[in-house]
Every structure is written in C-alpha cells, then in structure tokens.
C-alpha cells in the first residue's frame, strides 16, 4: 500500500519551504545578481541616469532624479518596475534574457523586508571588471570587445534601445549583427581605417560615439577594438570573419592629399561622382565599395 500523507508529514514537508519564504532576504543575495547583470552599465562615470549599483550605499542613493527602491513597498519601487518591464526600457537592457521570476522575487522580498544590509559594509564596492586582453601571442576576439559594446553602445544600438529602434539600423548586441553587410559594412575585418565604427569612436567621423559621451571610450578600449578589427574581427572562438570584398561602405572624415581619408587610400575614377568640390582639409562623406586590394572604390564623395 502507498504511504498516506499525514498532517504531521505534510507539515514537515512544508516547514522548510515556509521558513525559507519567511526568511528575510539580505543584500548578500542581491549583490551577486547586480554583479552579474547590472554593473556592466551601472557603474562609474558613465552610469545611466547616474544610477550606480556597485554598492548598497550607491543603490540606496538612487539615480540623479530619484530613489529606485521604497522601503517595504516593492510595487512602488522603480527598480522592480524596471525588472518586470512595467517601466520601460526593461532592465537589464542587455536582455532578453531578463532576470528569472525567482531572481525578481528575491529583489521584491528584499525591499518588502526593509532592505536588510548584508554581511559586508554598505560601502563595499563591486570592483570594475578590468578589460580582458588576449594572452601573449593570441589574437583579440569578440569575447574581448563584447563587454565594451554591451556597457557603452547596446543601450541605443539594440532593437528596443533608448532611441527607439537602433540608430542607422546598427545593432551592436551580437557578433553577427555587428558584421552585418546587408546594406553597408561598419566593420571591415582587417581594416580599422575603413571601419566607420572606429572612425566614430575616435571622433574622426561625427557625431562621435558613444552619442551620450563624454565620457567617450578610453584609449585602451579604442585600441582593443582597433586590434580586434585589424586582426580579422574574429568571433568569440577565434575564427576570422569573411572578407567583405564588394560590400558598400559609407565613411566620413577629413580629406587628405592624393584622395586619402585620414591615411585610408580612396580610389577616385571617372565613375566617381564628386559633389560640392571637396578639397584637402574638408570634412566629407564617402560612399563606395571595399575592393579586393584593400582600398575604397569611391562611388560618391561629397563635402559636408
Ligand atoms: C546595457 C546597459 C544596462 C544594463 C546591463 C542595465 N541597465 Fe539599468 N539602465 C540602463 C539605461 C541606459 C537606463 C536609462 C533608461 C532611461 O532613460 O529610462 C537604465 C535605467 C535603470 C533604472 C531607472 C532609474 C531611474 O531613475 O528611472 C533602473 C532602476 C535600472 N536601470 C536598474 C537596472 C538593474 C537592476 C539592472 C540589472 C538587473 C540594470 N539596470 C541593467 C542601462 C542598463
Ligand atoms: C545614446 C545613444 C547612442 C549610444 C550610447 C551609441 N550610439 Fe552610435 N549612434 C547613435 C545615433 C543617434 C547615431 C546616428 C548619428 C548620426 O549620424 O546622425 C549613431 C550612429 C552610429 C554609427 C554610424 C552608423 C553608420 O551606419 O554609419 C556607428 C558606427 C555607431 N553609432 C557606433 C556606436 C558605438 C561603437 C557605440 C558605443 C561605443 C555607440 N555607437 C553608442 C546613438 C548612440
């Protein structure tokens, strides 16, 4: 005969679960989630809306305009609204995936239970994740540069970003999207000089990116992206991207002697359309195609 569930047995089964529910959540359980999913953006000088989530104190300070948690009132807390998508854009902005129901419930219980501090000091700060460089002799891969795009670009350059759809249709949240060559290439594997993305982060092409800068990217971050592209814009597994020969490019910059754009050689021929008589030193927009021999065959060049 099968065992019958007696009331005593039932209680002993449910008790640990009820106890867990009743137990207060402390910041010790919140901090690892912030570390894994939030501080890539909500840290430092460039923290969105000034909201830093790197320590309990910073979280309680809230953003420039308001506190993000209301003690005892999870449903009135902006942080919960953002995690559930009741307030847009939904957090984390790198999602989907967003947080699991269980993780969101932890935040709710922590707020409902009075924002109990953890075992560490409330000023204990999650250290910034240092830039990952390849080990000696190894190439830079997408794995090294993806965190830069995630922390500084994805908030706009994603399908549901701060500016609505991605500016210029440019998605920077996935390898395949960054190398997309449907309309035109913004990253030319093997040539940082011909990559509009690099021109933008250096400010050779205007407006400089990130659009909400300063702060712009650090020299070290820019160099890592330049090396990534010059070494073939490899995927996270180290496989180089295919060459985009024949793809369209659209570049902006200052015209130099002998049809150069900041030392990138342009090929201007009889078929090239030249508008508004651009001269050396002028800021121009160049449309063309990437050629086999690593030059830009100009279709149109125009002074801006
Ligand atoms: C990819 C970058 C990114 C990530 C990752 C991210 N956020 Fe945000 N967060 C933003 C941006 C950008 C804004 C500003 C959005 C706006 O203008 O409303 C924002 C705004 C917020 C706000 C609103 C503040 C206010 O005053 O209205 C809260 C709360 C928030 N984030 C919490 C979180 C939490 C919690 C996580 C992790 C689970 C997280 N964010 C992860 C980029 C990010
Ligand atoms: C606050 C929003 C925002 C952020 C953050 C942002 N961008 Fe942009 N991006 C824009 C806008 C808006 C444009 C269109 C600007 C224009 O040319 O008028 C743009 C355009 C670009 C272009 C030109 C696309 C093309 O087809 O020519 C590139 C490349 C680019 N961004 C790269 C980046 C990179 C890389 C980052 C991160 C380091 C970044 N952006 C961060 C808003 C943003």
Distance CA 122, CA 70 (A): 17
Say which ligand is closest to the CA of 225: 2
pLDDT interval class at 10 (50, 70, 90): low
* 239-282 pLDDT, tens digit each: 999 989 999 999 999 999 999 998 899 999 999 999 999 999 99
- Ligand 2 proximity of 210 Cβ (cutoff 6 Å): yes
Q: Say what the pLDDT of residue 1 is.
A: 46
Q: What is the mean pLDDT of residues 175-203?
A: 96
pLDDT at 16 over 70: no
- Ligand 2 proximity of 162 Cβ (cutoff 6 Å): yes
| Angle (nearest 5°) at CA 163 between 301 and 204 | 35
Say which ligand is closest to the CA of 52: 1
Contact 196, 157 (CB under 8 A): no
Residues within 6 Å of ligand 1 by CB: 37-38, 40-42, 48-49, 51, 63, 65-66, 68, 78-79, 82, 89, 91-94, 99, 150, 154-155, 162
Higher-confidence residue: 293 or 101?
Answer: 101
Q: Which residues contact 23 (CB under 8 A, 6 or more apart)?
A: none
* 70-111 pLDDT, tens digit each: 999 999 999 999 999 999 999 999 888 999 999 999 999 999
Distance CA 128, CA 221 (A): 14
CA of 252 from ligand 2 middle (Å) equals 13
CA of 198 from ligand 2 middle (Å) equals 11
């Amino acid at each position: 005969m099968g065992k019958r569930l007696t009331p005593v047995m039932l209680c002993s089964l449910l008790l640990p679960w009820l106890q867990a529910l009743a137990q207060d959540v402390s910041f010790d359980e919140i901090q690892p989630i912030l570390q894994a999913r939030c501080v890539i953006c909500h840290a430092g000088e460039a923290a969105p809306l000034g909201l830093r989530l790197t320590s309990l104190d910073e979280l309680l300070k809230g953003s420039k305009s308001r506190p993000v948690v209301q003690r005892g009132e999870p449903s009135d807390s902006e942080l919960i609204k953002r995690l559930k998508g009741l307030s847009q854009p939904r957090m984390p902005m790198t999602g989907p995936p967003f947080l699991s129901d269980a993780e969101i419930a932890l935040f709710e219980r922590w707020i409902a239970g009075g924002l109990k501090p953890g075992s560490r000091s409330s000023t204990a700060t999650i250290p910034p994740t240092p830039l990952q460089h390849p080990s000696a002799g190894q190439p830079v891969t997408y794995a090294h540069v993806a965190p830069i795009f995630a922390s500084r670009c994805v908030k706009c350059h994603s399908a549901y970003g701060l500016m609505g759809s991605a500016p210029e249709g440019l998605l920077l949240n996935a390898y395949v999207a960054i190398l997309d060559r449907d309309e035109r290439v913004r990253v030319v594997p093997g040539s940082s000089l011909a990559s509009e993305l690099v021109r933008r982060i250096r400010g050779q092409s205007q407006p400089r990116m990130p659009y909400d800068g300063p702060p712009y990217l650090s020299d070290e971050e820019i160099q890592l992206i330049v090396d990534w592209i010059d070494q073939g814009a490899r995927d996270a597994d180290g496989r180089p991207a295919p060459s985009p020969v024949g793809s369209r490019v659209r570049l902006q910059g200052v015209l130099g002697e002998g049809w150069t754009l900041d030392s990138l050689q342009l090929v201007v021929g009889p078929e090239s359309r030249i508008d508004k008589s651009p001269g050396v030193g002028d800021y121009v927009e160049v449309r063309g195609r990437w050629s086999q021999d690593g030059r830009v065959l100009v279709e149109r060049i125009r002074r801006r």
